[in-house]
């Protein structure tokens, strides 16, 4: 029969319901020297993204996350993979020497095919909870959205502080916290407008021209020095940070990657155009005051910082907020009705929720880094009880023996843990630019969901990791 076009040996289901196919694609994608663990705390390879693939094969992405599970390690792993996969259709070239084998691997047909099978599967895992967390009424119209959004504009103008800025100013090391915040902005800002530019193509009437006006602003109207990502590179360079794209990959927090992946999701799949219109209105409006608050906090912590990136957004986003509403929100609803209205509000609310999670994640990380000495003190206080509990068979431990220069790629744990060094020297990485030296019979408490790693500084180092659950039960 002419309609019998499938061979019995072919895969019949290319949807995310085919979990075996998607899992195989994810594991195959991660199996590259660009993604394998190495000994560098910062990313030496321009196309490298360390994914801990030897651990990924033990993770289950089949059941979508609930919001309470978002801080867990499996979510961090999924966000790292998804971010690396999204780069399959974002061209990046180093400023000078090109490692040909890395370039060809990163953009190989095989790697791209694997990414496009894996991305929808990981997006379902990471973002499905948004549908249940955000419930909308059926009564949204242009009039009600106009009232709701303009009220948000008024509220945004009155904001005088942000948790991220407060965390920088209150930190025990404001300069370190400030550089850390710049790093958390980097997943988006170093490739700014790249997700948005996906909507530069297509045929969707006046909406496309209205959005393109914002896109060309982001791109500096063809002037490379005025391109927003170039301006952010200058900001990084002015405070001694390496501006190579994703050089600080291992220090990107779960929330920072989650936020970047959300905007990639709603631009990569064009059915999300109306969600994106809501999200871009939120972003362009919120940035007016956010950038001013961040600028002032960064200047306080890092005198001499180049803040032209933030100055630019303080004024250009006044126009962009207006353009987003008048050129995108209003005409989309007028032309496409209630479906567009519902999706626009959903994108607005989803983007706000995801942004708030990313900011809380940063604040918690700064607090964790600042408590490094306190966590060594708590270790000394509870170590005898923890050891006794292990000997009584009440808790589990892992024994490790690693050689000089071996790096435990940054990761997190879902419960509190106790690290005890029995012999050797470890540089325990509490986070970006914060380390604790541990020698024989030293240790530290590792807070759940906090990014950390370890670098061996002696010929060898033997250490133990005890799963202690909630540390408060031992105090």
CATH for the 372-474 domain, from 1.10.645.10, 2.60.120.10, 3.10.270.10, 1.10.3720.10: 2.60.120.10
Q: Can you tell me the distance from the alpha carbon of 329 to that of 346, in angstroms, rounded to the nearest whole number?
A: 13
pLDDT (mean) for 219-246: 95
Tell me which residue of 420, 425, 325, 330 sits closest to 375, measured CA to CA.
Answer: 420
16 pLDDT above the threshold of 80:
no
For residues 435 and 180, what is the distance between their CA atoms, to the nearest angstrom? 14
Structure tokens at 184: 């958390």
Q: Is pLDDT at 149 greater than 80 in this prediction?
A: yes
For 15, residues 6+ apart whose C-beta sits below 8 A from its C-beta are none
User: Span 348-377, mean pLDDT?
Assistant: 98
Give the Cα separation of 357 and 351 in Å (integer).
Answer: 10
Pair of tokens at residue 411:
């990761």
Q: Return residue ranges of the chain for CATH 2.60.120.10.
A: 372-474
pLDDT tens digits for range 122-147:
999 999 999 999 999 989 999 999 99
pLDDT of residue 422: 97
pLDDT at residue 13, as a whole number: 74
Q: Give the residue carrying structure tokens 């549908």.
A: 131
Q: What is the pLDDT of residue 9?
A: 54
Token pair listed for 302: 């890092």
Cα 382 versus chain centre, distance: 34
pLDDT at 32: 95
Instruction: Look at residue 168 in the predicted model and tell me its pLDDT.
Output: 98
Residue 6 has pLDDT above 80, yes or no: no
Average pLDDT over every residue of 401-429? 97
Contact indicator for 102, 47 with CB cutoff of 8 Å: yes
Whether 87 contacts 54, CB under 8 Å: no
User: Quick one: DSSP state of residue 293?
Assistant: H
pTM confidence score: 0.95
Average pLDDT over residues 41-50: 96
Percent of the chain's residues with pLDDT above 70: 97
The pLDDT mean for the chain works out to 95
Output b/e per residue, 462-472; b: 16+ Cβ within 10 A.
bbbbbbbeebe
Q: CA-CA distance, 313 to 236, in Å (whole number)?
A: 16
Q: pLDDT digits over 52-103, tens only? A: 999 999 999 999 999 999 999 999 999 999 999 999 999 999 998 999 999 9
Question: Each residue of 310-342: pLDDT tens digit?
Answer: 999 887 878 889 999 999 999 999 999 999 999
Distance, C-alpha 435 to centroid of its chain? 22
* pLDDT value, residue 438: 98
Q: How many C-beta atoms lie closer than 10 Å to residue 148's C-beta?
A: 12
- The gap from C-alpha 119 to its chain's centroid, in whole angstroms, comes to 15
| Among the listed residues 434, 358, 430, 363, the one whose alpha carbon sits nearest the alpha carbon of residue 166 | 363
Average pLDDT over residues 366-382: 98
Q: What is the mean pLDDT of residues 253-282?
A: 97
> Contact, 347 vs 276, CB < 8 A?
yes
- Reported as a single tens digit per residue, the pLDDT across 25-36 is 999 999 999 999
- Angle in degrees, CA 156, 161, 164, rounded to 5: 110
Residues forming a β-bridge with 463:
400, 421
End-to-end CA distance of the chain: 74
pLDDT above 60: residue 231: yes
Least confident stretch, 173-182, 214-223, 274-283, 396-405: 214-223
User: Which residues belong to CATH 1.20.910.10 in the chain?
Assistant: 137-370
Q: Does domain 137-370 have CATH number 3.30.110.60?
A: no
CA angle 300, 303, 307 (to 5 degrees): 85
User: Phi/psi zone of residue 361: left (φ > 0), alpha (ψ -120 to 50 degrees), beta?
Assistant: alpha
pLDDT at residue 408 above 80? yes
Contacts of residue 36, Cβ cutoff 8 Å, sequence gap at least 6: 50, 53
Q: How many residues does the chain have?
A: 475
What pLDDT score does 167 carry?
A: 98
How far is 326 from 318, CA to CA, in rounded Å? 13
User: Which pLDDT band, with edges at 50, 70 and 90, does 351 fall under?
Assistant: very high
């Amino acid at each position: 029969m002419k309609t019998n076009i499938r061979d019995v040996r072919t895969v019949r289901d290319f949807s995310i319901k085919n979990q075996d196919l998607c899992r195989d694609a994810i594991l195959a994608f991660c199996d590259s020297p660009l993604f394998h663990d190495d000994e560098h705390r910062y990313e030496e390879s321009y196309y490298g993204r360390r994914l801990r693939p030897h651990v990924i094969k033990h993770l289950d992405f089949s059941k979508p996350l609930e919001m309470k599970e978002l801080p867990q390690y499996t979510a961090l792993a999924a966000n790292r993979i998804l971010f690396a996969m999204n780069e399959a259709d974002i061209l990046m070239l180093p400023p000078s020497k090109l490692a040909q084998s890395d370039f060809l691997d990163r953009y190989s047909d095989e790697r791209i095919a694997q990414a496009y099978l894996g991305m929808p599967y990981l997006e379902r895992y990471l973002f499905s909870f948004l549908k249940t967390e955000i419930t909308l009424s059926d009564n949204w119209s242009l009039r009600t959205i106009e009232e709701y959004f303009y009220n948000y504009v008024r509220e945004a103008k009155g904001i005088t502080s942000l948790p991220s800025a407060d965390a920088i100013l209150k930190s025990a090391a404001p300069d370190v916290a400030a550089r850390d915040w710049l790093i958390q902005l980097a997943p988006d800002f170093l490739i700014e407008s790249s997700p948005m530019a996906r909507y530069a193509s297509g045929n969707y009437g006046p909406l496309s021209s209205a959005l393109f006006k914002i896109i060309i602003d982001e791109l500096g109207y063809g002037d490379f020095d005025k391109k927003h990502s170039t301006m952010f590179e200058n900001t990084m360079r002015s405070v001694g940070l390496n501006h190579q794209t994703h050089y600080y990959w291992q220090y990107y927090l779960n929330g920072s990657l989650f936020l970047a992946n959300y905007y990639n999701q709603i631009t990569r799949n064009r059915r999300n155009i109306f969600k994106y219109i809501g999200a871009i209105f939120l972003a362009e409006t919120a940035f007016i005051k956010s950038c001013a608050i961040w600028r002032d906090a960064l200047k306080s912590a890092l005198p001499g910082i180049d803040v032209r990136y933030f100055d630019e957004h303080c004024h250009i986003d006044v126009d962009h907020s207006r353009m987003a509403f008048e050129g995108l929100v209003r005409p989309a609803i007028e032309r496409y009705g209630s479906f567009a209205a519902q999706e626009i509000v959903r994108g607005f609310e989803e983007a706000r929720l995801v942004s708030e999670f990313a900011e809380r994640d940063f604040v918690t990380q700064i607090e964790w880094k600042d408590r490094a000495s306190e966590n060594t003190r708590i270790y000394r206080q509870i170590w005898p009880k923890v050891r006794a509990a292990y000997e009584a068979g009440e808790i589990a431990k892992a024994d490790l023996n690693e050689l000089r220069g071996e790096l435990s790629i940054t990761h997190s744990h879902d419960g509190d843990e106790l690290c005890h060094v029995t012999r050797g020297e470890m540089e325990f990485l509490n986070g970006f630019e914060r380390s604790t030296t541990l020698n024989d019979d030293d240790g530290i408490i590792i807070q759940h969901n906090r990014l950390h790693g370890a670098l061996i500084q002696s010929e060898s180092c033997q250490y133990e990791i005890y799963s202690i659950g909630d540390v408060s039960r031992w105090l």
